[in-house]
């Protein structure tokens, strides 16, 4: 069972002891990401995350940090999203004290040396180059820029080459000071731990209380289809279709999750069977919901045969119309069983449990156990799926991003009418 407590400086701590494990997972989430950034500093949240691994007062270099964690066989990393930055260490429970000391040291005492900032600019620019050289990754960014046109959710997480090169120590340090505050931090601890280790954790994460991050609400007023093409000489075309959806606070999100499974969530989904297996139009095709606290999207992505892309898009659109007509009781039950099975697999270790509760808390969602969420999923009816499909699949609000050997968007726009 989990326990929630708020520390004196505003940090929210969620603990979930697990008797059957020998590991402990420590996850620190900060409510800041690319959507908090002005255009002129795009990518700065991601830049801060990189610099946390470049040395502290007690551990002056990257090697000083990594050799301690590698020496105990720990799993550790960090990530930046649209609305969250996270840092984690998973290790043998007997080394939890080191994990606590390490993360509190990195997040509270990183040096942000000017010379390290200059070196890291080159690393991040190469990361941007990697994204742009990979059509599979590039097409996702293109799609979100269209769906959230003009809004902060459309920002690229890594930023641009220009904003990365323009970053300096003062900008980065001020940004970190503004957002890395107690009110913005959630710590998840799951696995095997004791009261002394908990006391240690509470004493070491020393942050000013500050204020919670605020967001500018995303307003989507799309009234006609949008197409974005990125010309690239490729043998396989990467295409992504997206429709505005709703936030993860919306009670319809459970039906949306099930609908995405039926549409393209596994190898027995409608898209996989009809686009890949029956017609051979794609190597992969999938669908998933991408939800935030104030908005969201339903995304369909496929790697397509460039000579048959029009047929593929027409086929995909046909499957969307099919969902609007309804799903069978058998399909819905299979989707429910699939989600139940995936949840059981995903939540079998300590890090998954820490992520589950910390993410709910960070996003001000009701803390519920996996079993409680599963109850809500199991209560979804066929009529709920049909209603969500009808609400979302409006071709006046469709967005299509394509990376491949195409320059003229007219034929694609014609397909979406």
User: CA-CA distance, 296 to 281, in Å (whole number)?
Assistant: 28
pLDDT at 12: 98
Does the pLDDT of residue 98 top 80, yes or no?
A: yes
Q: 155 and 43 share a domain?
A: yes
Q: 336 and 406 share a domain?
A: yes
Total of domains in the chain: 2
Please name which of 182, 157, 144 lies closest in space to residue 46, comparing C-alpha atoms. 157
Does the pLDDT of residue 187 top 90, yes or no?
A: yes
Q: How far is CA 383 from CA 250, 299, 412, in A?
A: 17, 21, 32
User: CA-CA distance, 159 to 226, in Å (whole number)?
Assistant: 23
pLDDT at 320: 98
User: CA-CA distance, 391 to 394, in Å (whole number)?
Assistant: 7
Please name which of 89, 108, 83 lies closest in space to residue 212, comparing C-alpha atoms. 83
Section 234-239 average pLDDT:
94
Question: 330 is in which domain, residue-wise?
Answer: 226-415
Q: 292 and 360 share a domain?
A: yes
Does the pLDDT of residue 219 top 90, yes or no?
A: no
| Band of pLDDT at residue 217, cut at 50, 70 and 90 | confident
Structure tokens at 161: 């080459």
User: CA-CA distance, 407 to 346, in Å (whole number)?
Assistant: 42
Active site residues: 49
Q: 155 and 250 share a domain?
A: no
pLDDT at 1: 82
| Mean pLDDT value across the chain | 96
Q: 248 and 158 share a domain?
A: no
CB atoms within 10 A of CB 279: 14
Query: Residue 380, Cα to own-chain centre: how many angstroms?
Result: 25
In a domain, 217, yes or no: no
Q: 198 and 238 share a domain?
A: no
Using DSSP's 3-state secondary structure scheme, residue 198 falls into helix
User: CA-CA distance, 256 to 246, in Å (whole number)?
Assistant: 9
Domain with 182 in it: what CATH number? 3.30.830.10
The per-residue pLDDT for range 356-394, each reduced to its tens digit, is 999 999 988 889 999 999 999 999 999 999 999 999 999
Q: 194 and 263 share a domain?
A: no
Structure tokens at 204: 């070491």
Does the pLDDT of residue 348 top 90, yes or no?
A: no
Does the pLDDT of residue 249 top 90, yes or no?
A: yes
Using DSSP's 3-state secondary structure scheme, residue 235 falls into coil
Q: 195 and 254 share a domain?
A: no
In a domain, 27, yes or no: yes
CB 43 within 8 A of CB 157: yes
Structure tokens at 200: 């240690």
- This prediction has a pTM of 0.96
The per-residue pLDDT for range 125-165, each reduced to its tens digit, is 999 999 999 999 999 999 999 999 978 999 999 999 999 99
Q: 199 and 232 share a domain?
A: no
User: Which residues are CB-neighbours of 167 under 8 A, at least 6 positions away?
Assistant: 41, 43, 44, 47, 117, 121
Q: Which residues of 247-263 are buried (b: 16+ CB within 10 A; e: fewer)?
A: bbeeebbbbbbbbbbbb
């Amino acid at each position: 069972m989990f326990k929630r407590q708020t520390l004196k400086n505003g940090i929210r701590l969620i603990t979930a002891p697990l008797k059957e494990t020998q590991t402990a997972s420590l996850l620190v989430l900060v409510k800041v990401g690319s959507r908090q950034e002005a255009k002129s500093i795009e990518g700065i949240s991601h830049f801060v995350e990189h610099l946390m691994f470049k040395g502290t007062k007690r551990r002056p270099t990257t090697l000083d940090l990594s050799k301690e964690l590698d020496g105990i066989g720990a799993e550790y990393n960090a990530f930046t999203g649209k609305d969250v930055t996270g840092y984690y260490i998973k290790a043998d429970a007997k080394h939890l004290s080191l994990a606590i000391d390490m993360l509190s040291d990195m997040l509270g005492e990183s040096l942000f040396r000017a010379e390290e900032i200059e070196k890291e600019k080159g690393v991040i620019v190469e990361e941007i180059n990697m994204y742009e050289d990979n059509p599979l990754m590039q097409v996702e960014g293109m799609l979100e820029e269209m769906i959230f046109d003009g809004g902060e959710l459309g920002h690229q997480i890594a930023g641009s080459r220009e904003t990365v090169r323009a970053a300096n120590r003062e900008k980065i340090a001020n940004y970190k000071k503004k957002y890395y505050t107690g009110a913005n931090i959630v710590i998840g601890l799951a696995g095997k731990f004791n009261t002394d280790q908990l006391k240690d954790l509470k004493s070491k994460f020393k942050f000013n209380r500050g204020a919670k991050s605020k967001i500018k609400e995303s307003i989507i007023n799309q009234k006609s289809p949008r197409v974005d093409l990125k010309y690239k000489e490729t043998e396989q075309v990467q295409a992504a279709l997206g429709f505005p959806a709703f936030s993860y606070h919306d009670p319809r999100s459970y039906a949306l999750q099930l609908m995405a499974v039926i549409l393209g969530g596994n190898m027995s989904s409608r898209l996989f069977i009809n686009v890949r297996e029956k017609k051979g139009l794609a190597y992969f095709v999938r669908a998933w919901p991408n939800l935030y606290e104030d908005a969201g999207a339903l995304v369909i992505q496929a790697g397509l045969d460039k000579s048959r892309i029009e047929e593929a898009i027409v086929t995909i659109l046909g499957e969307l119309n099919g969902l609007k007509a309804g799903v069978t009781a058998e399909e819905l039950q299979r989707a429910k069983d699939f989600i139940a099975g995936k949840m059981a697999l995903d939540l079998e270790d300590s890090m998954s449990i820490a992520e589950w509760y910390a993410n709910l808390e960070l996003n001000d969602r009701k803390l519920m156990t996996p079993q409680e969420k599963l109850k809500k999923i199991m209560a979804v009816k066929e009529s709920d799926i049909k209603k969500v499909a009808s609400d979302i699949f409006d071709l006046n609000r469709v967005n299509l991003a394509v990376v491949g050997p195409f320059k003229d968007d007219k034929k694609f726009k014609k397909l979406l009418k």
